[in-house]
Structure 1
Amino acid sequence: MSTFLTEDFLLKNDFAKKLYHDYAKKLPIIDYHNHLSPQQIAEDTHFENITQVWLAGDHYKWRAMRAFGIDEKYITGKASDKEKFLKWAEVVPFTIRNPLFHWTHLELKAYFGIEELLSPKNAEEIYEKTSKMLQQDTHTANGLLKLMNVESLCTTDDPTDSLEHHIAIQKDASKVNAFPTFRPDKSFAVEDVKSYNSYLSKLEKASNIIIHNYSNLLEALENRVTFFNDNGCKLSDHGLGQLYHFETEKYNIASIFDKVKASKDLKEDEVAFFKAKTMIALGKIYHKKGWTMQLHLGAIRNNNKRLLEKLGPDTGFDSIGDYSQAEALSGFLNTLDSTNQLTKTIVYNLNSADNDVFATMVGNFNDGTIKGKIQFGAAWWFLDQKDGMEKQIDTLSNQGLLSNFVGMLTDSRSFLSFTRHEYFRRILCNVIGTDVENGELPNDEAFLGKIVSDICYYNAKNYFNFK
């Protein structure tokens, strides 16, 4: 089979092609949320083979392989890297209409110039070719980022992280700009008392603050926010099924913390109250620093308990949840806004059924002080595919201002994932181009080209103000 990835892939009309090739394609990338390893960037890692840079940690591919009946030995098990790649190649032809089919071939083309469709027939040849290219200086960790014109990126980092690798990156002008993101989810994960107390010990060590009580906890977290801020951090991030909100002080937060410190299990409502109060406290700290707060809402994690026990978390057993989101999201944002302490915020939705709920909710808290202050975030995780991106673009257009949107991100652990920006840019240009062709938007290339350029790059550059 010959490649289907022509230069006009996904671009269905001449105006869409003009927008993409002249206004979107060549812009730098600002990837403000991913899970790349800062150590690999700092050390400019040479990956030994394509499996290490492409399959390791990629739960999208792992899920597809399991669905196809591939033994775990070839997924997260002890098979050789080459054996794992060959098994993945068996699956790829049968991923048609799954985003993995598009992503796989976009990545092979963009990073390695390979336009053949991956299959068992050419898998060994492609494995050897790509592994050889990965030994070149053009294909190190930083080389791969530069191939895609990545200007700046933000990793995802626990408050206890030393940031040593980020500090090293910032001292080396040859490295791509990589900034930390403050991800404090473990600081309020009190549903597991034993794990939480173990985490507090790490936080004490990192902050050099003994955490006797709840006030000490907030002091330690603010200490780490300041440390992150001093080392280039401009964003926080939270991965939550849902937010919680309480109209009254139903519990005493200090007493709940004391109970946890005493290794006593909490009631479900006490856990929710603790999370709610701590998120509010963190939101106020972020506002003080002028950070952007990210809220990733809607995942239901670790569904397969048997395989969680065997393989651990983040191995491909999470899915979309059906939480009730509106009231708690409203209460959370309103609590911070009521004291004028709501910082710039991006809210990401994982359940497309809630798109309009999220898009209209964020519009309630845009107060005219900052352009696009509260954002309905990019389609993410299970939704960062063609249909999901189009729905997010349509919902944002219907309920807010698409022109203010800060654009796409990878949310990935792979250095080969940056073609998702290309994918998004092509989809965006096709959506707008189709509207022009249908007579629903003016045939004004300069005007619409500027909006496309803003969404793909300039809005993020101005919103985050990375140096």
Structure 2
Amino acid sequence: MNVSIAAHPDRLLPADPGTRSIARSLLERVQDLPIISPHGHVDAAIIEQNTPFPDPATLLVSPDHYVTRLIHASGIGLEYLQPPTASPREIWRLFCAAWPLFEGTASGYWLRTQFDSVFGLRKELDPETADASFDAISAKLAEPGFRPRELFKDFNIEVLATTDDPLDGLEAHARLAADPSFHGRVLPTFRPDAYINIAHPAWNTSVERLIAQAADGETGYRGYITALENRRRYFIDHGAVSADHGVRTPATLKLEQSDAEALFDRARAGKADDRDRDAFEAHMMYQMARMSMEDGLVMTVHPGSFRNHHHPTFETFGADTGHDIPFAINYTEAIRPVLQDFGTAEDFHLVLFTLDETVFSRELAPLAGFYPSVYLGAPWWFLDAPDAMLRFRSAVTETAGFSRSSGFIDDTRAFCSIPARHDASRRIEASFLARLVAEHRVTEERAHELIVDVVDSSPRRVFKL
């Protein structure tokens, strides 16, 4: 094939001609709306410094665990996909040879869309075109106008949230906010995982630094809590609207002050066991909810990933290298302690995500359909794919409607993939609504209102933008 199917105007839209026509009209209504990205992992410094992008392999292959994990599954060692073992051109050649593996995957769709719309690459990848495509993308990356700030504008991004360590000085965010030549919003997000998970290798060191820098002279558990509260306020002063929690499970637990102090002291002394780990993380999730209720930061919860499933890979290549595997979770009981105390609290927003789609209709939709605080996090990670997004919308809408959704979350480190991901989401929303219209379950006029709400109004409302 010499022309990319990513250029087809009806990609991801329904196959039925009548329904597709309705979907086209709905997509047209939102296609040019600005991108609101309230959760992602792009480094703010890259935008602030307008850092040139690296070579194609370093930009698009090596750091993307969606890509490297599938190539690894075909028998190619990760060392051949990472510098300095292999050169960027060698990595790209391996990627092009493996390109057929990505047919039907979300990664393949996003990459193909990027190649077409961002890099102007029209031919399909294969071993014969590997060097030519590497050179063509490299030439594009070298263009003066192909820099993060220019692309921020070209991509029509209005809001981009980053994910940041609680002790980050947020200097890049401050400089962007003060720069009159930059017209977007790049917002920090408070991410305290390394300070809450006592099983994290750096937990003790991180907590020691946290207390030393932000506890106002207090020590122990009280100093720890004070320091977290102080750093949240620092983030709010620098534009943050949310706090994100990548926890093992969504468990929450309200402990008495003395029990929490004793548990904290055991952990600091290195005497905590697995039960202590789970109890402390659950208690701190309750504390994070209590803080969000008080300071107004939206609380987002991303549970259900067995991190670093393959120890030999973790020991050699580290975290976030493709071997995090989802597992089943329970939300109804796990989140209940928080909802008992804060579920109806005014202005408390709790956005619940999952990697276990069996809880979509069984637990999450009913929770969001009752508690004013609860919103449905968009399909995330392994579920941020066309069919999974349709399954999500079908599973939750009949119970929770459209108004309880967070809006799309791209959750990406790959800056150049942001427009492709949001475009895919808008096409899926148009397709789902078009079916409701075709089945005479929603009027077309109302569908046009709903898709604007889902794409634009929901993320603004849920994330207080």
TM-score, length of structure 2 as denominator length: 0.92
- Judged with a 3 Å threshold, the aligned counterparts in structure 2 of structure 1 residues 172 and 15 are, in CA distance, closer, same or farther, namely same
Partner of 1:8: 10
Identify which of 73, 76, 84 aligns with 2:79.
73
Once the 2 structures are TM-superposed, how far is the Cα of residue 191 of structure 1 from its aligned partner? 2.7
SS at match of 1:116: coil
1:436 and 1:137 mapped to 2: Cα distance?
A: 46
Match of 2:185, as an amino acid?
Answer: N
- Residue 190 of structure 2 contacts residue 232 of structure 2 at CA under 8 Å; is this kept in 1? yes
Alignment partner, residue 125 of structure 2:
118
Larger mean Cα displacement after TM superposition, 1-10 or 175-184: 1-10
Trace 1:18-37 onto structure 2 (pairs within 5 A).
18-21=25-28, 23-37=29-43
- Matched letter for residue 431 of structure 2: N
Check conservation: 1:239, 1:295, Cα contact below 8 A: yes
Q: CA RMSD in A?
A: 2.0
Compute the displacement of 1:399 (Å).
1.7
Q: Name the aligned partner's letter for residue 221 of structure 1.
A: L
Amino acid at match of 2:448: G
For 1:44, which of 42, 50, 60 is the aligned residue? 50
Would the aligned equivalents of 1:34 and 1:156 in 2 still touch at CA under 8 Å?
Answer: yes
Query: Is the Cα–Cα contact under 8 Å of residues 59 and 314 in structure 1 kept in the other structure?
Result: yes
User: In 1, Cα distance between the equivalents of 2:138 and 2:215?
Assistant: 44
> 1:231, 1:117 → 2: CA distance?
44
> Against the structure 1 CA distance between its residues 62 and 455, is the aligned structure 2 distance closer, same or farther, given a 3 Å change threshold?
same
C-alpha deviation, 1:145, in angstroms: 2.5
What residue is the counterpart of 2:17 in the other structure? none
Distance 1:392 1:344 in 2: 20
1:431-450 counterparts in 2 under 5 A? Answer: 431-442=432-443, 444=444, 446-450=445-449
Distance 1:362 1:421, change over 3 A: same
Give the aligned partner of residue 355 of structure 2. 350
Change (3 A) 1:45 1:205: farther
Aligned to 1:392: 392
State the shift of 1:274 in Å: 1.7
Answering whether residue 249 of structure 2 is matched by residue 242 of structure 1, we say yes
Q: Distance in 1 between matches of 2:305 and 2:453?
A: 30
Deviation at 1:72?
Answer: 2.2
What are the residue-to-residue correspondences of 1:173-188 with 2, within 5 Å?
173-175=180-182, 176-188=184-196
Answering whether residue 374 of structure 2 is matched by residue 374 of structure 1, we say: yes
Shift of 1:182: 0.3
Q: Distance in 2 between matches of 1:165 and 1:398?
A: 43
Q: What SS is found at the alignment partner of 1:454?
A: helix
Provide, for residues 408-439 of structure 1, a one-character-per-residue CA deviation record: whole Å limited to 9, x for no partner: 12111111121110001011101111222233
**Pair 1:297 & 2:303 matched:** yes
CA distance in 1, matches of 2:417, 2:286: 33
1:392 corresponds to which letter in structure 2?
A: F
CA contact (8 A) 1:299 1:320 kept: yes
Partner secondary structure for residue 92 of structure 1: helix
Instruction: Give, in whole Å, the separation in 1 of the partners of 2:27 and 2:216.
Output: 52
* Matched pairs, number: 454
Is this contact kept in 2: 1:406–1:456, CA < 8 A? no
SS at match of 1:316: coil
Check whether the contact 2:250–2:335 (CA below 8 A) recurs between aligned residues.
yes
- Could you tell me which residue of structure 1 aligns to residue 229 of structure 2? 222
Which consecutive residues of structure 2, in runs of 5 or more, have no partner in the other structure? 15-19
Equivalent residue letter for 1:110: S
The answer for the alignment partner of 1:266 in structure 2 is 272
For residues 185 and 248 of structure 1, do their structure 2 counterparts lie closer, same or farther at Cα, with a shift above 3 Å needed?
A: closer
The alpha-carbon deviation at position 404 of structure 1 amounts to 4.4
Decide which moves more: 214-223 or 289-298: 289-298
Matched, 1:89 2:96: yes
Structure 1 residues 250 and 286: alpha-carbon distance in aligned structure 2, compared to 1, 3 A threshold: closer
Give the SS at the match of 2:101.
helix
Report the equivalent of 2:197. 189
Is this contact kept in 2: 1:244–1:328, CA < 8 A?
yes
Q: Tell whether the 8 Å contact from 1:336 to 1:342 is kept in structure 2 after alignment.
A: no
Amino acid at match of 2:210: L
8 Å Cα contact 1:283-1:342 kept in structure 2: no
Distance 1:30 1:247 in 2: 34
Q: Give the corresponding residue for 2:368.
A: 362
CA distance in 2 between partners of 1:284 and 1:94 (Å): 46
Cα displacement (A) at 1:318: 0.2
Deviation at 1:461, TM superposition (A): 2.4
SS at match of 1:182: coil
Deviations 1:343-391 (A, max 9, x none): 111100111112121221233312xxxxxx4211100000000111011
Deviation at 1:258, TM superposition (A): 1.8
CA contact (8 A) 2:27 2:426 kept: yes
